[in-house]
Structure formats: C-alpha cells, structure tokens
Amino acid sequence: MEQKISAGRIQWMDRARALAILLVILTHSVEALYGEYTITWIPMSLGSNLLRMTLMGLGRLGVPLFLCLTGALILSKKFETADDLKYFYRHNVFRLFLLIEVWNLIYNFILAGTRDNFDPLSFLRCFFFLEIPDMPNMWYMPMILGLYLGLPFVAMAVQRFSARDLALPFGAVLFACSIIPTLNAFLGFHGSYKLDVLADLSLLGGLYTLYIVAGYYIAKGSLKNLGTGTVWILALGGFVFAYLTQTYTLEREYEWFFLWYNNLGVVLCGLSLFELFRRSPTRTVPAGLEKSSYNLSRWSLGLYFLHILFVKFLTPLLAATSIRRIFLWLILWVAATAGSVLITALLQKVPWVNQYVLGIKKS
C-alpha cells in the first residue's frame, strides 16, 4: 500500500508534480531570457549555448509529467453511470473552466495596465477560447480542458483493456504524432517534401492523450518488469536524443529548434522519468523535503498561473542589469518560484481565493 502524507495523497505523485511545476517555471524563465523559438546559435560562448539547450531540455519534461499524472489520477476514476459522468463534468471540468476564466480576466486586466486600456473584445475571445492572453503558459489550459471532456470515455477503455491490448491504436498515435515529426526534423524535409501521415487519428486524441494513457498504465505498474537500470538508460537516452535534435536543427537554422513535446526523445525521457518516480522510495526522503514536495504539489495549479507574472515583469528588469545571462536564468527561476510560493502561501488562507483563484483542493 502507498504511504500517504495525508488522506488522498500519494507521495511519489506529489514529488512528480512538485518537480513538474519547477520545470515549467524553469522553461518559462529560460525562454524569457533567451527567446522561445531561436533559429540559430545565440551570439555567446559555446558553453552558454549548451547550457541553454540543457535547461530547455530539462524544462520540457514538466508538461509530460503533468499529463502522466492526469492519466494516473483521472483515468482511475469509475465512470459506470450517467451520474458519474455528470459529477465529473460538474466537479472537475466546470471548476477548471471557472478557474481558467478567472485567470483570463486577471491576465487581461494586468495586460491592459501595461497598454493603458482594457480590450473587452480580446477578453471575450479569450473567454470563448478563440485566442489566449499574451502569456506563454495559457496554451495549456484550453488544451487540457478539451481533453478533460473526453477522459471519462478514455477511462472506460483503459480500465477494460491492458496496455498490450491498446498497443496498436496508440502505437499509431506515437508513429504519427512523434516519430514522423522527429524524422522530419532530422531529415530536413520541408514544404512539399515534408512527411505527413494521411490516416485520420483524431478520434484517438493525439499526442497529449498518449501521455495521459501512458501515465495511467505506468502508475498501474505496466513497466515494473523493466530493470531500474534499463529505465534510467531510457530516460538518459531520450534526453540525449532530444539534446542532439536541438543541436542538429540549430546548426541548420530551421524555422525553430525542434524541442516540443512531440520530440521522440522528450516522449521517451518524460515517460521513463514518470516510471522512476513511481519506483521512488517512500521512507528514505527527509521529512522537510517531503513536506515541501507536498506543498508544491497541492499549490501547483496556483503556481502555474502566478509564476508567469513574475517572469513577465522581472525579465526586462534583470535583462537591463550587467549580470551575465548565464546567471540570470537562475535568478529569474528562483525569484519567480519563491514569489509565487509566497503569494500562494498567503492567499490560500482565504477560502474563496483558495478555491476560485488558486484551484487548491482540500487535502
């Protein structure tokens, strides 16, 4: 039986979620200072360029961990009756929808302050998910909300069939949504020569559904027969592969360096890392570290929304200093994390803020 820090909490999942939010903040900090879609080597030392690619590679693992956790938790729910479905839509989907809209409003007002005007049409477009606020973290919210609508039906499938039973359909998703895009990046096919999969796999949900389904099966122990050393090799091999992909595409100045979540190396490393968390010990972690991971896990949704404000407004201030960029990312990452944690720790004491702004569930 899993050891739990409190009712309903599974320690290894708390650790995975805590690392995931730290990696997401790292990604946005590095992107803010170096640029998200840099098509060539930045004019700085080779060591700085290599550090940038390493940090981006690490940061990209945050979202796969979040998606795997979604699968491990949501797909384990029982959806046997219409009432189960209604309850999920009311208590999970609708609450997430409200939280997203609250932050759409907050972001639009804050951005209006920087532009000296509030654009109601822009807010309405954000409200109906026709556009997102000018915040690099908000692409994730419409995506995950849309996936939530279909997760009950995915849950009914994965609870009935084994990972081996579903290997064919989700193997096809892996091929179309990860292997082919990765081949395109390495082979340099563009325009009319780009490889495209013509089979319509939209019913299977795409790459993000693959992460979610894989997270469910990994949490259930589908990879338990693999040796831990093998899992580490897969994780490190995936990371090195993603790193080399960056180097290859940067040297050829492709339209953007290829390090999105469909990079085969990111997929392999992210899923292997999730399996390593599942195997992580429960009794050898210091109590203080366990408490920290517990808090970061519970507060992760609020931190996700808050940190980007620190990143957005601290970046120009830090960039104007004489501090070397090789150190700026660390200062920005720590400042954005610490500031978000401090505000969350203070605001979570207010019940309505806790529920409707920070999205913290009762422990």
Q: Is residue 322 part of a domain?
A: no
Q: Is residue 77 part of a domain?
A: yes
Q: Which residue has the higher pLDDT, 70 or 47?
A: 70
Q: Exposed, middle or buried, 61 (CB in 10 Å: 0-12/13-18/19+)? A: buried
**Distance, C-alpha 361 to centroid of its chain:** 19
Residue whose structure tokens are 């360029």: 49
Residue 99 to residue 215: CA distance in whole angstroms: 24
Q: Is residue 237 part of a domain?
A: yes
Residue 252 to residue 163: CA distance in whole angstroms: 39
- Confidence class for position 4, pLDDT limits 50, 70, 90: very low
Decide: 256 and 37 in contact? Cβ < 8 Å. yes
Residue whose structure tokens are 């060539």: 40
- Confidence class for position 37, pLDDT limits 50, 70, 90: very low
Q: How many domains does the chain have?
A: 1
Give the residue ranges of DSSP H helices in the chain: 11-34, 46-59, 62-74, 82-88, 94-115, 120-127, 140-160, 167-174, 180-187, 207-219, 228-251, 264-278, 287-298, 300-319, 325-347, 351-356
Q: Is residue 306 part of a domain?
A: no
Q: Is residue 160 part of a domain?
A: yes
Q: What contacts 88, CB < 8 A, 6 or more positions away?
A: 77, 79, 151, 152
- Confidence class for position 312, pLDDT limits 50, 70, 90: very high
DSSP designation for 92: I
Q: Is residue 103 part of a domain?
A: yes
Q: Is residue 148 part of a domain?
A: yes
Please provide the DSSP assignment of 35-83 as one string.
-SS--S--SS-HHHHHHHHHHHHHHTTHHHHHHHHHHHHHTTS---SHH
Residue 63 to residue 187: CA distance in whole angstroms: 26
Q: Is residue 342 part of a domain?
A: no
Residue 265 to residue 242: CA distance in whole angstroms: 5
Residue-range definition of the domain harbouring residue 253: 11-294
Q: Which residue has the higher pLDDT, 333 or 248?
A: 333
On whether the pTM is more than 0.75, the answer is yes
- 3-class secondary structure, 128: coil
Q: What is the pLDDT of residues 86-128, one digit of tens each?
A: 999 999 999 999 999 999 999 988 888 777 677 788 888 888 8
